[in-house]
Homo-oligomer: A and B are copies of this chain.
């Protein structure tokens, strides 16, 4: 009688492709969160990203995000991680969820341009290049990043029953688009964006250009995911794919925390013929319900066996316009915000829900962002 009903306990999590069974079976006792930070010069193409106010600042984004996760402030930039009108980094959500749930986390640096002032796991690689003008990541680095990720994933799986992996890489949906098309997934007009006006045409033309230059066309690299990453991807992808494969080969479970970029990682894992049953995707409802992208269809094109969980953080109801903006198509997701929110709900057996999280996020917003911006 006292047992809350399943749908009540996880009232703010929705299982998008399998509403009946996977969420009920989902549990976690000792999850860990890994945030993979990276960089691709593709983000410097004007108009491609809003993660970072301008192309000079965008290279600080992932370092600033990871410093913010640890300290609640940034060290590499002399400012708060928000746009001048108060739209914050999604890391604000991530930090709130981590603090509420006491889930441990580590940052992996896979080619960020600016190194954060925190203890981070180094994958010793340089930033990704602009796919419009050359190859994305040298092939040996792709293999190395996958191997390093695998090595780390094996260690993490020894004590953690769930590894939640998020990312911070600006311009990452464009490289995701490129890799998915090369792997034979019809991803045009389906990848997400940090902006309400998703620049699909710009992204499509960047990818078309890159593919023509390489003489690679739709589905050509279906069985060569590392080559696809090397040509059109970024250093985040093989790192997250490697962590995921190390974790699942060791018998633990992985949640890919993010939007359509994680669909690309799922496609890579599928192309590597890895078993997909211990993989899920966790994201925010702002990506999942976005009309200008289609996460569910992208993941279904990879496999019907990968559950997608989406969480409602009630940001539309926030008293803060900067947070409401997430529900109006800005930012939407990133730094694993959606996945770690879901993990915190499940770990706490529903004690943490979207409303509880919203309060914590608003408090953090007041203390961290408003205090500085309103000064």
Contact = CB atoms under 8 A, between A and B. Distances in A.
Interface of A: 30, 32, 70, 102-106, 108-109, 115, 117-124, 148-149, 151-152, 155-156, 158-160
A118 B148 contact: yes
A105 B157 CA distance: 11
A115 B121 CA distance: 13
28 contacts: A30-B30, A32-B159, A70-B151, A102-B158, A103-B158, A104-B155, A104-B156, A104-B158, A104-B159, A105-B155, A106-B121, A106-B155, A109-B122, A118-B148, A118-B151, A119-B122, A119-B123, A119-B148, A119-B149, A119-B151, A119-B152, A120-B121, A120-B122, A121-B121, A121-B122, A122-B122, A159-B159, A159-B160
A119 B115 contact: no
A235 to B, nearest CB: 13
Contacts of A158: 102-104
A311 to B, nearest CB: 22
A150 to B, nearest CB: 9
A121 B148 CA distance: 12
A375 to B, nearest CB: 27
Contacts of A104: 155-156, 158-159
Nearest to A32: B159
A288 to B, nearest CB: 29
Contacts of A160: 159
A258 B178 CA distance: 50
Contacts of A102: 158
Nearest to A33: B155
